[in-house]
Structure 1
Amino acid sequence: MPDDLWARFAPILPPPPQRRNQHPGRRRTDDRIALAGILFVLRTGAAWRDVPRKEIGCPGVTAWRRLRDWTEAGVWPRLHAAILAELRKAGLLEMDDCAIDGSHVRSLKGRAHTGPSPIDRGRPGSKHHIVVDRRGTPLAVSLTGGNRHDVTQLIPLIDAIPRIRGLRGRPRHRPQRLYADRGYDFDKYRRLLRRRGIAPKIARRGAPHGSGLGKTRWVVERTFAWLHQFKRLRIRYEMRADLHLGLLQLACGITCLRNLRAAF
């Protein structure tokens, strides 16, 4: 468990439930140990039952329950927003130009936010949608079924960018320009972006390649590569969509922290 990650995570944790005076039961596992179990599953892709209790300090079911509780408490978006504020304070956010895209992942247990994937022979799948800044720093993510069109998440993702503090003045939560591929080529969504003060830089369908937009938009593909280094995100094993999204948001926070480390 990295000390710098825990130092940012501990202040936003909800208070633990109070123990009963009589028959308090087994002592609660330390939050830092439980987080280490969650990170083990996220990085290795191992099943929860395969978490090594002796090395980590807690069984996998305890780590899963803590993931459930912290996801329901909204801990992961707060962690992500806190690290984004540090990046902005350090001058490491370039939000004038942002890029957006989606990526398919196979879903082995078809539940909420799954659908027949058009690129995987109709097998159940989900989609990760992400918007990043000019450096590829993830700003907001969402999860949908594999058969949802990318453009349906354009406005929800833009609106989901948190108000990022870190400097004097108003918090930043809107880019000036948004870059996207031909899958987002709809005039309706261009108008919606302009209403928010964002200039759409979206490739036109049917136009020849070589528009030059890829020079700015390529960073979103690299960010997907960063996120899918966490093996638990390559295939969706969680039946509950909120838990898979929670792991995705945790991976975004860790990616932002790595960018912060690399600058110092």
Structure 2
Amino acid sequence: MDKPIIDDELWKRIEHLLPQPKARREKYPGRKPVPDRAALNGIVFVLRTGLRWRDLPAEMGCGSGVTCWRRLRDWQQAGVWDRLHELLLAELRGAGQIDLSRVIVDSSSVRAIGAGPKTGPNPVDRARPGSKHHVATDANGVPLSIILTGANRHDITQLLPLIDAIPAIRGIRGRPLQKPQVVYADRGYDSEPHRQRLRDRGINPILAKRRTVHGSGLGKYRWVVERTHAWFHNFHHLRIRYEQLATIHEAFLKLAACMICWNTLQRSAQAF
């Protein structure tokens, strides 16, 4: 493929975050390993297209699907995607693209092919195995934190973990941002104890109440998280959970969040 999937500017940010490869033996070093950038191209290609690992085109030069899978696993264990996410959030804040005046939380369910950790009977899919993507975004729809659970986990159980998982966002001089002023959520998060816990943290909870008429007006704030879920589902590999290992699916989720942040940063740069 002529054009690399990961452009040069993004690769510069990723390259120094990757763990150093093991030293090769001087005698009988074995086959030369696939370059990290080539393996990352293969990983992102699978993420975007939903292709099976074994069907990666040989002409991409990324080695076998097993090689790419192992790199994704190792980089996830090394915390590469978490650090990249924090780096991109800091750049977005420096560009004036982070707004923590409000945070919006929501979840979406996806079918899981087979059982595995963090799957469960999906109540909206005839109890077939499924998982939930719980997402918290800022006022602009930038993904701040994402959590994977089984599809049978109630949304409210992840409200506080999502808020706690928001990293400290630097990017400009002064104290880093981490705590939102307001949290918006739909009726699935209606819980008075959780409202009080948010208030105890100095956060104003605006959570829709169950058994009330529609027309609360929260839609004019909450639509951004629905758009963010759509951005995640533009990565075809996230529409259905194919990976039995939860860590691999979580790695894809975090990599997708980084790609969304990078695309937002690119759009903001083009606007000037």
Instruction: Work out whether 1:228 is the aligned partner of 2:238.
Output: no
The Cα of 1:33 is off from its aligned counterpart by: 0.3
> What is aligned with 1:80?
85
Query: Counterpart of 1:165?
Result: 170
| Identity of matched residues, % | 55
Tell me how far 1:21 sits from its aligned partner: 2.3
Counterparts of 2:182 and 2:210, CA distance in 1? 19
Secondary structure of the corresponding residue to residue 104 of structure 2: strand
Contact 1:53 1:60 in 2 (8 A): no
Q: 1:52-107 CA distances to partner (integer Å, 9 max, x unpaired)?
A: 12124322111111001101111111111110000001111011111000000000
Cα distance in 2 for partners of 1:92, 1:99 equals 16
Stretches of structure 2 that go unaligned for 5 or more consecutive residues are 1-5
Match of 1:23 in 2: 28
Who is 2:118 aligned against?
113
The 2-side partners of 1:233 and 1:95 are apart by 26
Q: Please give the secondary structure, in 1, of the residue aligned with 2:40.
A: helix
* Distance of 1:93 and 1:209 partners within structure 2: 30
Rounded Cα–Cα distance in structure 2 between residues aligned with 1:53 and 1:109:
28
Q: SS state of the match for residue 263, structure 1? A: helix
- TM (norm. structure 2) is 0.95
TM-score by structure 1 length?
0.98
Deviating beyond 4 angstroms after TM superposition, the runs of 4 or more aligned structure 1 residues are none
1:143-222 matches, cutoff 5 A: 143-222=148-227
| Residue in structure 2 matched with residue 64 of structure 1 by the alignment | 69
Does the CA-based 8 Å contact 1:106-1:124 persist in structure 2? yes
Contact 1:143 1:245 in 2 (8 A): yes
Deviation string, structure 1 residues 184-231 (Cα, Å, up to 9, x no partner): 000011011111111001111111111111100110000000010000
RMSD: 0.8
The letter of the residue matching 2:258 is G
| Letter matched to residue 127 of structure 1 | K
**Structure 2 counterpart of 1:96:** 101
How many residue pairs align between the two structures?
A: 264
What is the aligned counterpart of 1:125 among 117, 120, 130? 130
Counterpart of 1:206, as a letter, is: R
State whether residues 85 and 166 of structure 1, in contact with CA within 8 Å, keep that contact through their aligned partners in structure 2.
Answer: yes
SS in structure 2 opposite 1:104?
A: strand
State the secondary structure of the residue aligned to 1:135: coil
Deviation at 1:24, TM superposition (A): 1.3
Contact kept in structure 1, 2:120 and 2:131, CA below 8 Å: yes
